[in-house]
Amino acid sequence: MAKLYFYYAAMNAGKSATLLQADFNYRERGMRTLLFTAAFDDRFEPGKISSRIGLASHANAIDPESDLFEEVAIELAEAPVHCVLVDEAQWLTRAQVFQLAAVCDELDIPVLAYGLRTDFRAQLFPGSEVLLAIADNLIELKAVCACGRKATMNLRVDAEGFAVKEGAQIEVGGNERYVALCRRHYAEQMGWRRGAHL
pLDDT tens sequence across 50-77: 777 677 678 889 999 999 999 999 999 9
DSSP state of 8: E
Instruction: Examine residue 57 and state whether it is found in any structural domain, yes or no.
Output: yes
Residue 186 and residue 153 in contact, taking contact as beta carbons nearer than 8 Å: yes
- The predicted structure's pLDDT at residue 26: 97
The answer to whether residues 85 and 23 touch, using CB atoms and an 8 Å cutoff, is: yes
Q: In whole angstroms, what separates CA 184 from the centre of its chain?
A: 23
Domain of residue 17, CATH code: 3.40.50.300
- CB half-sphere exposure, 72, CA atoms < 13 A: 28
52: in domain:
yes
Domain that holds residue 72: 4-142
Q: Which of 66, 70, 5, 57 is nearest to 39 (CA)?
A: 66
Please indicate, yes or no, if residue 64 is contained in any of the structural domains: yes
Say what the pLDDT of residue 41 is. 63
Domain contains 129 = yes
Q: What is the pLDDT of residue 110?
A: 98
**How far is the C-alpha of 114 from the C-alpha of 28, rounded, in Å?**
21
Residue at 169 is within a domain:
no
Rounded Cα distance between 155 and 51, Å, is: 19
- What element of type H or E holds 32? none
Q: What is the pLDDT of residue 19?
A: 94
| Tally of domains within the chain | 1
E-state strands within the chain: 4-9, 33-38, 48-50, 56-58, 60-62, 83-86, 111-116, 137-140, 143-144, 150-151, 153-156, 178-181
pLDDT of residue 59: 84
Q: Which residues of the chain have pLDDT under 70?
A: 40-46, 53, 56, 170-176, 194-198
For the question of residue 88 being annotated catalytic, the response is yes
- 69: in domain: yes
**Per-residue model confidence (pLDDT) at position 2:** 97
Q: Which of 45, 78, 88, 176 is catalytic?
A: 88
Evaluate if pTM is beyond 0.95.
no
Question: Is there a domain that residue 158 lies in?
Answer: no
Identify whether 31 is part of a domain: yes
